[in-house]
Amino acid sequence: METTLRGVGVSHGVAIGEVRHMGTAVLEPPAKQIPTDEAPREQSRARQAVEAVAADLIARGNLAGGEAQAVLEAQAMMAQDPELMADVERRIAVGSTAERAVYDAFAAYRALLAGAGEYLAGRVADLDDVRNRIVARLLGVPMPGVPDSDEPYVLIARDLAPADTALLDPSLVLGFVTEEGGPTSHSAILARAMGVPAVVALPGASELAEGSVVAVDGSTGEVFVDPSAEKRAALEAAAAERKAALAAAVGPGATSDGHKVPLLANVGGPGDVPAAVEAGAEGVGLFRTEFLFLDDSKKAPSEQKQVEAYRKVLEAFPQGRVVVRVLDAGADKPLEFLTPADEPNPALGVRGLRTLLDHPEVLRTQLQALAKAAAGLPVYLEVMAPMVADRTDAKAFADACREAGLQAKFGAMVEIPSAALRARSILQEVEFLSLGTNDLAQYTFAADRQVGAVSRLQDPWQPALLDLVALAAESAKAEGKSCGVCGEAASDPLLACVLTGLGVTSLSMGAAAIPYVRATLAKYTLAQCERAAAAARATDSAEDARRAAQAVLSGE
C-alpha cells in the first residue's frame, strides 16, 4: 500500500526507483558466548557467508574487468584463506558467534599485515573491506559503503560525507534520501551538483526496506513508498511540464525589467564544468577546491596537479568570472593532515582560513598554482577565503595573495555573523564579498548544519539571516563593491528573487538550479523583488517569510 513520508526537499525533480542503502561502517559484533552444541551450525553459517562474499567479489570482478578485476579477485582469495577460516572455526568452537569469530580472526590477521612492510600494510584496507562484507552478511545488514548495484537506484543514507560521494557512480544514482542533514548539508549540495532530486531530514529513512520502490519529489520533500501507477504517472507528468517551462528560459540572469544578476555555478572540480556550461552559467561563483584534496589523506596535492585542475575550470569560461575559494578544511570537511583531531567543537575550531594561516605553505602553494593556471587566459579570476571573521583575517589573506604574485581580485566569504556586522571594515582589505549562507545560518542560529533535528533553524528564509544578508549587501554597495551569494540559498528560485531585492549582485548555485532561478527571476521586476524582500524581513519565521514573499510576487 502506498504511504507518504515527509522530509525537506532540497533538489528539484522526481526520481522513481528501488531503494539501496549506503551501508554504514560495520559495528563490532557483541562478544556473546554460544553453547558448544551450536558451534557446528555457527561454523557452517560462517563458511557460507565467506563463500557468498568471495563469489560476489569474483562476479563483480568479471563484470568490471581490467585492474579492478585483479583487486577484487585478490580480495576473494583473502576471504577464502584456509588459515583464516581455520582460526574462525577455532574461535567458534570455544563459544564465539560466527560474526564475532570472523571479526576477531580478521583483527589478528590485520595486525600481522599492518606490521609486515609497506606493501602488505597497504592491503589492510582491502582486508577490512572483506571482513566488513562477511560480518554485514552474517548480521543481515547492508554491505558497507556505496551500494553494489549495476541498476539505477535511489540512494538512502543517514547523511553523506564528501569522501563517500567520491565513490558514487552518478549514472546509477537516481536521487537521494537522507535521514539527517538539512538544506545546506553536503548531501543536499551534492544532489544539486549531480542534478538529481533529493529529500533530506526524513525521519525513518534508514528503515525503508532495501529493494522497495519509492518516488522522491525533491521539490515538495515528499517520498511515496510503493507509489501507485496513478501517482507515478502524475509525478512524471508534473516533472516533464516543469522541465519544458525551464527550457524556454535562456540567456543571462536578469529581472523582467532588465536588472542584471549574473547566474554563476558552484563547482567542485573540472567534472562539474560541462553541466555548468550546459545550464548557461555565466561563470563560476564558487569553486570548492577541497575536493582536490580528498585523494590523499596525508598531504596536499602537488602544485602541478592543482594547476591542471584549476586550468581546466578557468578555460571553460574564457570571458567569464571564476571565483575560486581557497581550501576550506575542517569541521564538516576534515582533512587528516591539516585538521586537529581533538577539537571539542570543530565547527568553532581551526577551520577554513584559520587552517590556512596555520599552514601558510599550503595556502602559498595553492595561490601560486592559481597564478600559474590563470597565466595567459583572458578569464576574470577572483580568489576568496572561507571563514573570514574580521579585518585582520581579510588583511592576512590579501597579503598572502599579493605575496604569491596573484593577478586577481581578492575577496572574503561572509559566513560568520561578525563578518556581516563589520562588512565595511572587511571591505577595506578586499574587493568583494560572497555570502556563504550555509555556514552563516549555522553560526547565526547555533545550529549544526549536519544535524537533521535542527534543520528548521538552517532554513535560509529565517528573517535574521535575511537581515545579515541585507547588511552585507548594503555595506558592499556603500563601498562600491560587489556582494554575491554562493550558499545554497541562491538555488531556491523564490529566495533568489528576495536576495536580489536585498541588493545581492550575483547568485551562484549548483548547475541544475540555474534554469529554475533564471526562469523565476525573469518573471518579476526589481521593485517587486525589493517589496518581496521587505515583506519577508518584516516577519518572524522562515515559513511566514516565504509566504509573505510569495504573496507579494504573486500580486495577492
Task: Write out the residues near ligand PEP by the rule CB under 6 A.
Answer: 286, 288, 328, 415, 436-439, 486-487
Selection from ligand PEP, Mg ion, none that 286 binds (CB < 5 to 8 A by kind) is ligand PEP
Of 334 and 436, nearer to Mg ion (C-beta) is 436
Q: Which residues are CB-contacts of 256 (< 8 A; sequence separation ≥ 6)?
A: 522, 523, 524, 525
* 3-class secondary-structure state, position 24: coil
**Side chain identity at residue 41, one-letter code:** R
Smaller CB separation from ligand PEP, 286 or 521: 286
Selection from ligand PEP, Mg ion, none that 486 binds (CB < 5 to 8 A by kind) is ligand PEP
Question: The C-alpha cell of 380 is what?
Answer: 576574470
Least separation in angstroms between residue 285's CB and ligand PEP is 9
Nearer to ligand PEP, 331 or 545 (CB): 331
Indicate the residue among 136 and 441 with the shorter CB distance to ligand PEP: 441
How far apart are alpha carbons 519 and 279 in whole angstroms? 12
Contacts of 322 (CB under 8 A, 6+ apart): 283, 284, 287, 313, 314, 379, 380, 381, 382
**Which residues are marked as active site?**
186, 486
- Cell, residue 313: 575550470
Residue with cell 563458511: 47
Q: Residues of 133-162 as b/e, b for ≥16 C-beta within 10 angstroms?
A: bbbbbbeeebbbbbbeeeeebbbbbebbbb
Closer Cβ to Mg ion, 262 or 436, answer by number? 436
Of all residues in this chain, which one has the CB nearest to Mg ion in the complex?
A: 439
Give the full edge-to-edge strand order of the sheet including 3-6: 3-6, 222-225, 213-217, 14-21, 153-157, 173-178, 198-200, 8-11
Kindly provide the b/e burial profile for residues 428-463, where b requires at least 16 CB atoms within 10 angstroms of the residue's own CB.
ebbbbbbbbbbbbbbbbbebbbbbbebbebbbbbbb
Taking Cα atoms as reference points, which of 502, 485, 390 lies closest to residue 436?
A: 485
Q: How many CB atoms lie within 10 A of CB 43?
A: 19
CA dist 235 and 239 (Å) reads 6
**Gap between the Cα atoms of 263 and 283, Å rounded:** 8
Angle subtended by helix axes 66-79 and 124-139, to nearest 10: 60
Partner whose footprint covers residue 437, from ligand PEP, Mg ion, none (CB < 5 to 8 Å by kind):
ligand PEP
Nearer to ligand PEP, 39 or 194 (CB): 194
C-alpha cell at 206: 534508514
Phi/psi region, residue 219 (left: phi>0; alpha: psi -120 to 50; beta: rest), is alpha
Cα separation of 13 and 21, whole Å? 21
Closest contact distance (angstroms) between CB of 378 and Mg ion is 29
Shortest Cβ distance from residue 353 to ligand PEP (Å)? 12
Interacting partner of 487 out of Mg ion, ligand PEP, none (Cβ under 5 to 8 A depending on kind):
ligand PEP
Q: Are 57 and 105 in contact (CB under 8 A)?
A: no
Residue 288, contacted partner among ligand PEP, Mg ion, none, CB below 5-8 A by kind:
ligand PEP
Q: Binding residues for Mg ion, per CB under 5 A?
A: 415, 436, 439
CB-wise, 282 or 439, nearer to Mg ion?
439
